[in-house]
């Protein structure tokens, strides 16, 4: 009845339909029954025709209630996202209180911070790339606080700003800028920066996702001691050209609850500095990892990590709905229609799994077996 609300792309993955709406750049996941209602609603020219279609399938339905449900659902899926208001500011060179150089992928990156507090938003995750000697810089970033707003500049040009309580927006934008710089890309080259960590065995990779407290970072840290390499922690970038996942230089962020676990298995972990940025984050350590052999790898599986005390380690297939409800909310995904189509095609062709574990050794074995299975 209102075809303007129709999803731009739709893909059946397993038992669920993934729908993408270009107006809002949003994804929804529905089962086949609800998809039938959506299709019937969009095909019908009137409520009478919609009622006729539904009555053939299920007589005595409440057509008004179903119509209102479908209309509300599609309207919600088509609400454009409100863009952040960027406060403008003229570059202030007097804010360059702390200057640190980093060598990453043969690029010399200079970051100027105005305080130790602002430095904590970026530096701890890339501290292992800092250098002492003076070098000619390839790119310069300035990050400083002014009137309770954080400002991010690239070569003295304002990139973005955010209220200081929304510092994660500055972190996210800086990560994108850094990825573009070290891989010689531009933002429009990327399909997404997924909220998840990616590990490689030197041939392919697996994307690990999971809500806070589910043991994702702990598991990934321990896997790096078992012959696997960290490709990206927390922010995993996927390139449109080849749908490969690319190297992100950030160290693994480890919460205080995992300190004792990792001290037993990771040499030197107890000597890593403790960082406290705010009460919400608590105490953190950042674990640098050995550089992977290559800068990008294809990804053949996504795994939801689910730590449960005193449980048997198990890997099971899960629906795309379960995966995307965890993966999408904190991920950036390009609004480009071609990229959305590529993302759906990628989803259709990977394994979507959940790993439930309490015993680290058996979890590592399951991951090893999964990597090996694709080469048989």
357 and 248 part of one domain: yes
Please report the pLDDT score of residue 275 as a whole number: 93
From the number of C-beta atoms within 10 Å of its C-beta (0-12, 13-18, 19+), residue 146 rates as: middle
Task: Write out pLDDT tens, residues 67-120.
Answer: 899 999 999 999 999 888 899 999 999 999 999 999 999 999 999 999 999 999
213 and 167 part of one domain: no
109 and 180 part of one domain: yes
116 and 262 part of one domain: no
What is the secondary structure of 39-51 as a DSSP string?
HHHHH-SSHHHHH
- Does 3 score more than 90 pLDDT? no
From the number of C-beta atoms within 10 Å of its C-beta (0-12, 13-18, 19+), residue 6 rates as: middle
Task: Write out pLDDT tens, residues 114-157.
Answer: 999 999 999 999 999 999 988 899 999 999 999 999 999 999 99
Phi, psi at 326, each rounded to 5°: -90, -40
156 and 295 part of one domain: no
358 and 275 part of one domain: yes
102 and 214 part of one domain: no
123 and 270 part of one domain: no
178 and 193 part of one domain: no
Please report the pLDDT score of residue 189 as a whole number: 98
246 and 168 part of one domain: no
- How far is residue 248's CA from residue 237's CA, in Å, rounded to a whole number? 8
Confirm whether 87 is domain-assigned: no
Range of the domain at 323: 189-373
- How far is residue 221's CA from residue 285's CA, in Å, rounded to a whole number? 12
Confidence band (pLDDT; 50, 70, 90) for 296? very high
Confirm whether 117 is domain-assigned: yes
Confirm whether 82 is domain-assigned: no
99 and 55 part of one domain: no
């Amino acid at each position: 009845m209102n075809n303007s609300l129709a999803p731009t792309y739709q893909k059946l993955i397993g038992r669920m339909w993934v729908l993408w709406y270009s107006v809002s750049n949003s994804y929804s996941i529905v089962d086949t029954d609800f998809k039938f209602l959506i299709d019937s609603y969009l095909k019908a020219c009137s409520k009478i025709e919609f009622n006729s279609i539904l009555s053939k399938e299920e007589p005595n339905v409440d057509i008004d209630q179903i119509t209102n449900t479908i209309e509300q659902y599609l309207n919600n899926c088509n609400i454009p996202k409100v863009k952040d208001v960027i406060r403008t500011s003229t570059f202030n060179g007097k804010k360059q209180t702390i200057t640190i150089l980093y060598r990453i992928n043969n690029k010399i990156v200079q970051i100027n911070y105005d305080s130790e507090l602002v430095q904590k938003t970026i530096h701890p995750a890339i501290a292992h790339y800092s250098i002492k000697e003076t070098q000619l810089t390839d790119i310069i970033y300035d990050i400083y606080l002014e009137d309770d707003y954080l400002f991010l500049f690239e070569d003295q040009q304002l990139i973005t700003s955010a209220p200081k309580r929304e510092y994660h927006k500055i972190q996210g934008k800086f990560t994108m800028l850094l990825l573009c710089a070290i891989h010689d890309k531009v933002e429009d080259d990327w399909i997404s920066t997924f909220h998840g960590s990616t590990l490689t065995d030197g041939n392919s990779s697996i994307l690990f996702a999971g809500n806070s407290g589910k043991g994702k970072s702990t598991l990934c840290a321990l896997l790096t001691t078992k012959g696997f390499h960290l490709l990206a922690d927390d922010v995993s970038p996927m390139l449109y050209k080849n749908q490969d996942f690319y190297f992100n230089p950030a160290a693994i962020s480890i919460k205080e609850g995992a300190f004792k676990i990792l001290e037993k298995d990771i040499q030197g972990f107890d000597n890593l500095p403790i960082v406290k940025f705010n009460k919400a984050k608590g105490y953190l350590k950042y674990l640098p990892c050995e550089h992977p052999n290559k800068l990008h790898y294809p990804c053949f599986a996504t795994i939801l990590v689910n730590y449960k005390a005193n449980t048997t380690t198990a890997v099971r297939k899960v629906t795309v709905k379960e995966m995307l409800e965890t993966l999408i909310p904190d991920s950036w995904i390009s609004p480009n229609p071609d990229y959305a189509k590529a993302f759906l095609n990628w989803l259709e062709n990977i394994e979507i799994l959940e790993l439930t574990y309490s015993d680290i050794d058996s979890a590592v074995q399951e991951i090893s077996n999964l990597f090996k299975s694709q080469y048989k």
